[in-house]
Amino acid sequence: MKYIDEFRQSSLILNCASAIASITKNHWQIMEICGGQTHTILKYGLDRLLPASISLLHGPGCPVCITPSFTIDQAIAIAQQEGVIFCTFGDMLRVPGSKGDLALAKANGADIRTLYSPLDALTLAQSFPKSEIVFLAVGFETTAPATALVVKKADQLGLDNFSLLCAHVLVPPAMASLLNSPQSKIQGFLAAGHVCTITGYQAYQAIAQQYQVPIVVTGFEPADILQGIYHCIEQLEEGRFEVENCYSRSVKPYGNLQALKLIEEVFTVVDRHWRGIGQIGNSGWELSWQYRRFDALERFNDLPITENIDSENICGEILQGLRKPDQCPHFGIGCKPEHPLGAPMVSSEGACAAYYHYLERIG
């Protein structure tokens, strides 16, 4: 396939790995922030092609993994109410809340529907005017523009039976939070190319300088990942801490201005709780006051607000890159994709699911 196969050629991948080995003199620990990148690394065995002195740490860049359990509890509480049609993406169904998941609530009779596009929620709102249509909006800067567009359309259509349970998050504050942790081992970052396609990469300059870490904007194909690692190692070996763009076929310095304008109009930045990590300042979006009437938290009362963090300790260490999935005692025994104990095993982008799916290579 043109534009994909070129980035998966074995000769190119081996040349990239060899180039990395040729410049690596010291031990380095680099975090790929995005779960999609983690999957590419595991799927293609890229970590096995690197010198033993390079360790790849897997980051929290999976929206399903970091959506807090109280948001799932809120989703269930709303979905169980009379007259509600609750809408979500399919991979949110099995994310554990404190007392179950949306799949269980659906099995018990709640009207929960999986959508491929948030725009489908508006179609439902028009088709069922006597029902309350609630959409669980999750994801990073990549999915926020689509959610913002839906809210604007709902406003234009004058819909009063549509609302959002909004759990959108931003990546740069989470990177700073990870670096602030005394346990952090991160010496460089591969930033997520699709996020930077929306936001650009100017926001990363301050992080690179303040924490003295190189940040390399990286794509998702095997050659992309190895190119990102090469440039990260090159900077580390030379003592440089800069933001570099290795995904220029998609990412521009200032991002997608139209999408950013839409986000700015519809959302306002707030503190947000990340599952397994905790509260991170300025790391989330909620609806701005002009659109607050579409906020499900304003429309439904007495929703759960307490995070159940006790059961998330091990998963939290995975999400912060402090441990690897196969170091979890539950991995592949009590915790499998068929019966996950934590969100990193549920999501198709979760690090634990990636390790499990490519288990035979790890074992």
Residue 127 makes CB contacts below 8 A (sequence gap 6+) with none
Q: Which CB sits closer to ligand SF4, 219 or 325? A: 325
Minimum distance between the CB of residue 305 and ligand SF4, rounded to whole angstroms? 23
Q: Which residue shows structure tokens 């180039």?
A: 19
Minimum distance between the CB of residue 99 and ligand SF4, rounded to whole angstroms? 18
Minimum distance between the CB of residue 336 and ligand SF4, rounded to whole angstroms? 8
Tokens of 284: 């989330």
Tokens of 318: 């995975």
Q: Which CB sits closer to ligand SF4, 34 or 64? A: 64
Minimum distance between the CB of residue 350 and ligand SF4, rounded to whole angstroms? 7
Q: Which CB sits closer to ligand SF4, 214 or 340? A: 340
Q: Which CB sits closer to ligand SF4, 299 or 336? A: 336
Minimum distance between the CB of residue 320 and ligand SF4, rounded to whole angstroms? 11
Tokens of 52: 């033993």
Minimum distance between the CB of residue 112 and ligand SF4, rounded to whole angstroms? 23
Going by C-alpha positions, the residue among 172, 148, 193 that lies closest to residue 284 is 172
**b/e 117-134 (16+ beta carbons within 10 angstroms → b):** ebebbbebbeeeeebbbb
Residues lying near ligand SF4 in the complex (CB under 6 A) are found at 314-315, 318, 325, 328, 330-331, 335, 340-342, 344-345, 352
Q: Which CB sits closer to ligand SF4, 75 or 315? A: 315
Q: Which CB sits closer to ligand SF4, 67 or 256? A: 67
DSSP 8-state assignment for residue 251: -
Dihedral of CA 315/319/320/321: which sign? positive
Amino acid letter at 11?
S
Minimum distance between the CB of residue 78 and ligand SF4, rounded to whole angstroms? 25
Give the number of other CB atoms < 10 A from CB of residue 290: 13
DSSP 8-state assignment for residue 349: T
Distance, in Å, from the CA atom of 243 to the CA atom of 235, rounded to the nearest integer, reads 10
Give the number of other CB atoms < 10 A from CB of residue 189: 29
Amino acid letter at 118?
P
Minimum distance between the CB of residue 149 and ligand SF4, rounded to whole angstroms? 33
Tokens of 97: 């809340």
Q: Which CB sits closer to ligand SF4, 299 or 330? A: 330
Helix, strand, coil: what percent of the chain each, to 5? 45, 20, 35
DSSP 8-state assignment for residue 133: E
Q: Which CB sits closer to ligand SF4, 113 or 330? A: 330
Q: Which CB sits closer to ligand SF4, 233 or 354? A: 354
Distance, in Å, from the CA atom of 219 to the CA atom of 210, rounded to the nearest integer, reads 24
Going by C-alpha positions, the residue among 105, 109, 124 that lies closest to residue 163 is 124
Count of all residues that appear for the chain in the document: 363
Q: Which CB sits closer to ligand SF4, 276 or 304? A: 276
Minimum distance between the CB of residue 360 and ligand SF4, rounded to whole angstroms? 17
What kind and span of H or E run contains 277? none
Output the residue with the shortest Cβ distance to ligand SF4: 342
Minimum distance between the CB of residue 331 and ligand SF4, rounded to whole angstroms? 4
